[in-house]
Amino acid sequence: MPHASATSLKGLPTPALILDRTRLDRNIARLAGRMTALGVTLRPHMKTAKSIDVARHVFPHGPGPVTVSTMAEADYFADHGCRDMTYAVGIAPHTASRAMTLRKAGINIKVLLDTVEQAAFLAEAGQAAGVTPAAFIEIDCDGHRGGLRVDDDKLLEVAAALRDGGSALAGVLTHAGESYALHTPDALAAAAENERAVAVKAAERLRAAGHPCPIVSVGSTPTAHFAAALDGVTEVRAGVYMFFDLVMHGIGVCATDDIALSVLSTVIGAKPERGWIIVDAGWMALSRDRGTAGQRVDQGYGLVCDLAGRIYPDLIVAHANQEHGTLAIRSGSSQPLPDLPVGTKLRILPNHACATGAQHDRYHVVAGESAAIEAQWPRIRGW
């Protein structure tokens, strides 16, 4: 572990991934409270955190239900005691086989599909492993990605294929991905209600045709925070809410001081005649994600803070090369370029916490404005 000796951000080699435990815990409590008030189970999506240490903050009393996006995550969380999980990506033959291996080991893993072909090879994988598979049918609630429309004849065909192949229908699952393009409370509340209504209608259609549909699963971080009611829904999935990011801020889900993740960087040069400060965090440390480019406020590759996490007004990572980031004042702003000598350490808030986290193998954990490193939490990578 190359950074094991560092006890403070001041001595930590850069770039490095920083996690503010105080903000993390506050974000976790916020959504947990909402879901309790709305009477549904929260099944956190661990694709953002990819860390059992973060999961232990979500579930302080022992493992709870989780969502995963890779079989590497499924294996990892199973190894750390998680016994109830949903693999929320459409299955391929090899992932079906890996999931059934986990199921044979006693893990209640449920998979996702939306075709008769997937139901067929899931049945084969279950037979090969000697287990009964359980699968969600993916529902398309807003045209964002995969899944079946609620009135599609294939919905009942897929349910029948699962039954005929000896697989259990776990329920229906949908994701309001188009909510990421919204930015007003009314629009977000409407997206949440549409997500709920479509999922419930799909479940009712399946039940009317004689298919059990015990679980109605919905979720995205924006809709989870703006749903007014979740009648008929049994569980909600969300992931980035633990950390938040600048995209979530642009949507209106969080404030900048809710963002728990940042990248520590060091000033390595300047071109004052061009209004530039150069740091050692490029797209290899921050990611290439430009998710705020289409929002009302473009944050470049990230928003720049001092070592305590206080934002420099309108100072963004305007450009990124592989290992270089170029800081500049946001276009149209009258803010002065701050005086940041070579060697100054900075923290950069990310556009997309999932993408930025994926660039690093561990979190350096701090609390609030303190520069003291409390712990290092490994995170997994790969598929």
pLDDT digits over 334-382, tens only? Answer: 999 999 999 999 999 999 999 999 999 999 999 999 999 999 999 999 9
Q: Do 203 and 342 fall within a single domain?
A: no
Q: Is residue 248 domain-resident?
A: no
Q: Do 196 and 264 fall within a single domain?
A: no
pLDDT digits (tens, 9 = 90+) for 161-196: 999 999 999 999 999 999 999 999 999 999 999 999
Q: Do 291 and 230 fall within a single domain?
A: no
What is the residue whose two structure tokens read 């893993």? 109
Domain carrying residue 278: 256-378
State the burial class of residue 130 (Cβ atoms within 10 Å of its Cβ: 0-12, 13-18, 19+).
exposed
Q: Do 135 and 233 fall within a single domain?
A: yes
Q: Do 231 and 261 fall within a single domain?
A: no
The reported pLDDT for the residue numbered 4 is: 56
- Tally of domains in the chain: 2
Q: Do 176 and 274 fall within a single domain?
A: no
Q: Do 169 and 266 fall within a single domain?
A: no
pLDDT band at residue 1, thresholds of 50, 70 and 90? very low
pLDDT digits (tens, 9 = 90+) for 271-326: 999 999 999 999 999 999 999 999 999 999 999 999 999 999 999 999 999 999 99
Which residue, of 205, 238, 271, is where some domain finishes? 238
Element (H, E) at 24: helix 21-38
CATH, residue 363 = 2.40.37.20
Q: Do 195 and 290 fall within a single domain?
A: no
Q: If you average pLDDT over residues 65-85, what whole number do you get? A: 98
Q: Do 195 and 260 fall within a single domain?
A: no
The reported pLDDT for the residue numbered 330 is: 96
Backbone φ, ψ for residue 47 (5° rounding): -65, -25
Q: Residue 2 above 80 pLDDT?
A: no
Q: If we measure between CA atoms, which residue out of 204, 230, 235 comes closest to residue 44?
A: 235
Q: Is residue 117 domain-resident?
A: yes
pLDDT digits (tens, 9 = 90+) for 256-276: 999 999 999 999 999 999 999
Distances (CA, A) of 226 to 46, 170, 184, 279, 326: 21, 26, 10, 37, 36
Q: If you average pLDDT over residues 100-122, what whole number do you get? A: 98
d(CA 238, CA 221): 5
